[in-house]
Amino acid sequence: MDAMDIPQPVIYDKNTINEMLEPYGAQTINHQKQVSRTTENENLKTNFLKITEFKDRPNKGKTLDILNTHLLYNTDNFETMKNRCDITVLSKHQMDNYKYMYQTPNEKFEVLVDRMDTFAEVICKHYALELDAMADPAMSSQSEIFTLGRICCDSEGKMNSNSIILEPLPTLGGKGVKLVLNNLSSYALFPGQIVGIQGFNTLGQELIVTKIFEIPLLPMCRTRSGTVIDYNYGPTKLNGNPLKVIIAAGPYTLDSGLEFEPLLELLNKVKIEKPNVLILMGPFIHEDHPLIQEGEMENTPGETFRRCISQPLKKFMDNLPEIKVVVIPSIKDICHHHLAFPQPPFDKSGLPPETICFPNPVQFQINEIIFSICNVDVLCNIYREEVSTTDKAERIFRTSHHILTQRHLYPLFPPSPGEVNLDLKHSSSLDLLYTPDVLILPSKLKHFAKIIDNVICINPGYLAKGLNTYAKMVIHPFPQELANEADVEHFVHKRTRVEIVRL
């Protein structure tokens, strides 16, 4: 058979399929409109790139915020030692894969009730109240009562000062009652918050609140003095040098493409700074990236992750093996196998073997220092739902205070719709074990570094969104003269400088 007679394979695409269907008066899509839309998108991208080339971004390297300005940020004392710091996950917080969408209404209810039961005892003990004296808030009473429950909204939509109800423990009747807050000089409440309430319900219709009892903070972790001194001054540890940490949150590429210039630029800066630890939080490939939404990716997400994330990290870690790299996923990561929150860690098979993969959220130690990280936008979620009479300028910082006093890394309930697929059955990993030394909460809200309740709270911002920011920490050695007890608090808020920097 002549080569010219051999039938050529048909390449099926939008054009060929439409040509086949056209004689029958059918089309898979309106092809002309699709071409026009694609051309329009390309023009928009071209114009966008002309205006905002990444290399021409303004204020590169500008420091936007500094915490503890009196402390030095010193970059000249890095020693090439592999054993400079230890990183360990706190007990019960190394999460394995689990089956989600298997929680029944009864299981959800039991989790919520167990939390209220626990905090009823905590509040009563802290404020010297009688547990047996708690009353049903929906029952009419001529005398002042004390009760406990969860803040809820009485209808669909955003909660306001006229729609706040208290859902008490089932043992207290379980029937929600409207709260009247006019007698309070100030308050700050959000759905899911567990509080103690003192007030009057003379008619059995609403509870006139006279006092709100907040859950007290957990104690901060204490460590044996000898261990702290060894971490900070041991010759195979920090040897009297500061501990340096760089923190960044994704996305790591611009909306205009998938070149990952911000990630590469960050790694170049880390090579210069030479911190002890680099913490990278997802999303690494954002599910809402315009090119993904339009179906215009040249490679699969897995191939893009290997080429643009894994390979640059491997090259970086091969050149600087002394720097420990911690990777934490996001529920927006298209390359992560788990859609519910909390999330197990990334599969290490797709990353350099030396990478430290942690779940989301996570509580861990770098030497003696307790870090807590929640990589969903809990700050913004609570910020939008809070009802308060206090200074709005302080609301962003008060959100961190809510997380610490509720002892939970996502205390909002119900969770923000369309943003967080909360699995209550596995939410024990969201419970704080201690009040942490450092609380890291990436958010679309304005970046900050602030001491709240003796905790260093940091929103590093997003590396490839907004102002393209990340955070740098220098934790100076623990003062030896304070190691005069068997175990000591860490006083991290007094010896740490934090900078929020534009990439």
Reply yes or no on whether the pLDDT at 167 is more than 80: yes
CATH number of the domain to which 267 belongs: 3.60.21.60
115 found inside a domain: no
Least confident of 126-140, 258-272, 282-296, 488-502: 282-296
Reply yes or no on whether the pLDDT at 28 is more than 90: no
Q: Which has more confidence, 1 or 168? A: 168
Q: Which has more confidence, 11 or 258? A: 258
Reply yes or no on whether the pLDDT at 268 is more than 60: yes
Q: Residue 63 is encoded by which pair of tokens?
A: 């420091």
Q: Using alpha carbons only, how large is the chain's radius of gyration in Å?
A: 27
Range of the domain at 201: 127-213
Amino acid making up residue 491: F
Residues 274 and 399 both lie in one domain: yes
328 found inside a domain: yes
Read off the pLDDT of each residue in 48-75 and give the average, rounded to a whole number. Answer: 79
Q: Residue 54 is encoded by which pair of tokens?
A: 């990444």
Reply yes or no on whether the pLDDT at 5 is more than 70: no
Reply yes or no on whether the pLDDT at 208 is more than 90: yes
Reply yes or no on whether the pLDDT at 40 is more than 60: no
Rounded (5°) CA angle 343-321-327: 10
117 found inside a domain: no
Written as one string, the DSSP assignment of 299-341 is S-HHHHHIIIIIHHHHHHHHH-TTSEEEEE--TTBTT-S--SB
Which residues share a beta bridge with 476?
none
The runs of H, that is alpha helices, within 104-256 are 105-126, 225-233
Sheet containing 243-249: order of strands: 63-67, 496-502, 469-475, 243-249, 277-281, 324-328, 356-357
Cα separation, 241 vs 110, in Å, equals: 48
Q: Which has more confidence, 193 or 255? A: 193
Residue 363 burial (CB count, 10 A): 25
Residues 300 and 350 both lie in one domain: yes
Task: Categorize the per-residue pLDDT at 94 as very low, low, confident or very high, splitting at 50, 70 and 90.
Answer: low
Reply yes or no on whether the pLDDT at 53 is more than 80: no
372 found inside a domain: yes
Residues 43 and 72 both lie in one domain: no
405-459: pLDDT as tens digits: 999 999 999 998 888 999 998 888 899 999 999 999 999 999 999 999 999 999 9
Residues 291 and 436 both lie in one domain: yes
Q: What is the pLDDT of residue 54?
A: 78
Q: Closest by alpha carbon to 284, among 378, 351, 364, 233?
A: 351
| Whole-prediction pTM | 0.88
Task: Categorize the per-residue pLDDT at 43 as very low, low, confident or very high, splitting at 50, 70 and 90.
Answer: very low
434 found inside a domain: yes
Residue 36 burial (CB count, 10 A): 11
318-372: pLDDT as tens digits: 999 999 999 999 999 998 888 889 999 998 888 999 999 999 999 999 999 999 9
121 found inside a domain: no
190-204: pLDDT as tens digits: 999 999 999 999 998
Reply yes or no on whether the pLDDT at 44 is more than 80: no
Reply yes or no on whether the pLDDT at 181 is more than 90: yes
Calculated CA dihedral for residues 71, 72, 75, 79, nearest 10 degrees: -60
Residues 287 and 382 both lie in one domain: yes
126-144: pLDDT as tens digits: 999 999 999 999 999 889 9
Calculated CA dihedral for residues 39, 43, 46, 49, nearest 10 degrees: -120
Residues 167 and 199 both lie in one domain: yes
What is the chain's mean pLDDT, rounded?
Answer: 87
Q: Closest by alpha carbon to 380, among 329, 443, 441?
A: 443
Asked if 246 contacts 282 with a C-beta cutoff of 8 angstroms, the reply is no
Reply yes or no on whether the pLDDT at 36 is more than 50: no
Peptide bond into 361 cis (omega under 30): yes
Read off the pLDDT of each residue in 113-128 and give the average, rounded to a whole number. Answer: 95
CB contact burial 286-307 (16+ within 10 A = b; e otherwise): bbebebbeeeeeeeebeebbbe
Which residues share a beta bridge with 496?
475
Residues 39 and 81 both lie in one domain: no
141 found inside a domain: yes
148: Cα separation from own chain's centroid: 28
126: Cα separation from own chain's centroid: 29
Residues 208 and 341 both lie in one domain: no
Residues 186 and 282 both lie in one domain: no
Sequence-distant (≥ 6) Cβ neighbours of residue 500 within 8 angstroms: 63, 64, 65, 66, 447, 448, 449, 458, 460, 461, 469, 470, 471
Cα separation, 348 vs 130, in Å, equals: 51
Residues 199 and 239 both lie in one domain: no
Residues 257 and 281 both lie in one domain: yes
Cα separation, 198 vs 390, in Å, equals: 20
Q: What is the pLDDT of residue 224?
A: 96
CATH number of the domain to which 198 belongs: 2.40.50.430
Which residues share a beta bridge with 369?
366
230-243: pLDDT as tens digits: 999 999 999 999 99
Asked if 268 contacts 55 with a C-beta cutoff of 8 angstroms, the reply is no
Peptide bond into 283 cis (omega under 30): yes
Rounded (5°) CA angle 399-405-408: 80
Residues 270 and 329 both lie in one domain: yes
Read off the pLDDT of each residue in 220-224 and give the average, rounded to a whole number. Answer: 96
Q: What is the pLDDT of residue 107?
A: 87
Per the structure, how many domains does the chain have? 3
Q: What is the pLDDT of residue 290?
A: 85
Q: What is the pLDDT of residue 42?
A: 52
Rounded (5°) CA angle 251-361-254: 0
Read off the pLDDT of each residue in 84-101 and give the average, rounded to a whole number. Answer: 80
Reply yes or no on whether the pLDDT at 386 is more than 60: yes
Q: What is the pLDDT of residue 82?
A: 54
Sequence-distant (≥ 6) Cβ neighbours of residue 487 within 8 angstroms: 222, 223, 224, 225
Q: Residue 66 is encoded by which pair of tokens?
A: 């500094």
33 found inside a domain: yes
Asked if 488 contacts 222 with a C-beta cutoff of 8 angstroms, the reply is yes
Q: What sign for the dihedral angle of Cα 369, 373, 378, 383?
A: positive
